[in-house]
């Protein structure tokens, strides 16, 4: 093997590692953005994080297919406003990324606090088993949620 061939192999290895690191960062940011948008009642922005044919399934409430249906589901959640808290922390990511294929799977834990001033307050914990897809090509490509599947482990009233 020539020195040039060895250098070219090394460059290719470094490029793959750099791409893997960028993909990990982008996926963590994507899931974090989902949590933030849900926390602030930004339903349209949350729906835009999904792939065109992406699906959302939370707590066995049905499977919503496509951005329009995801958006419709989110818009049926109680509105965000004065006296409302949604706190939806996305924690402990375990990501399996195939950078070359533009696909990934991720497992997350989320701690939730939901409350409405003078009415009710709840806390909960869930596990997300998600899939992701990179839409587009080149520098315009973006990771999107292909499948968001939330399994509620517990959800209870604060005072009970």
Task: Give per-residue pLDDT as tens, 24-59.
Answer: 999 999 999 999 999 999 999 999 999 999 999 998
Token pair 């590692």 is at which residue?
17
Express each pLDDT in 130-148 by its tens digit.
999 999 887 789 999 999 9
pLDDT band at 114 (very low <50, low <70, confident <90, very high): very high
* CA pair distance 20, 48, nearest whole angstrom: 24
Which is higher by pLDDT, 159 or 106?
A: 106
- Tell me the pTM: 0.90
Q: What is the pLDDT averaged over residues 107-121? A: 93
8 A C-beta contact, residue 110 and residue 88? yes
∠ at Cα 90 (89, 92), nearest 5°? 125
Tell the residue number behind the tokens 């996926």, with chain if given. 27
The sheet carrying 120-135 orders its strands as 63-65, 50-58, 142-157, 120-135, 103-116, 84-98
115 strand-pairing partners: 85, 121
Burial (CB < 10 A; 0-12, 13-18, 19+), residue 56, is buried
Distance between CA 126 and CA 22 in Å, rounded? Answer: 27
Tell whether the model's pLDDT for residue 5 goes beyond 90.
no
- Helix, strand, coil tally for the chain in percent (to 5): 35, 45, 20
State residue 1's pLDDT score: 65
Q: Are 129 and 151 in contact (CB under 8 A)?
A: yes
Residue 63 has pLDDT above 80, yes or no: yes
């Amino acid at each position: 093997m020539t020195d040039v061939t060895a250098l070219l192999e090394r460059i290719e290895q470094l490029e793959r590692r750099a791409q893997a690191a960028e993909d990990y960062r982008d996926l963590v940011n994507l899931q974090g953005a989902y949590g933030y948008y849900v926390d602030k009642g930004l339903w349209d922005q949350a729906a835009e994080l999904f792939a065109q044919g992406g699906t959302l399934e939370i707590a066995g409430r049905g499977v919503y297919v496509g951005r329009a249906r995801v958006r419709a589901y989110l818009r049926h959640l109680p509105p965000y406003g004065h006296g409302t808290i949604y706190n939806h922390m996305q924690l402990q990511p375990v990501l399996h990324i195939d950078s070359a294929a533009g696909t990934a799977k991720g497992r997350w834990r989320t701690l939730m606090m939901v409350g409405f001033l003078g009415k009710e307050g709840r806390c909960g914990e869930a596990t997300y088993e998600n899939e992701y897809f990179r839409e587009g090509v080149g520098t315009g490509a973006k990771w999107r949620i292909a499948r968001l599947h939330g399994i509620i482990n517990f959800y209870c009233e604060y005072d009970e």
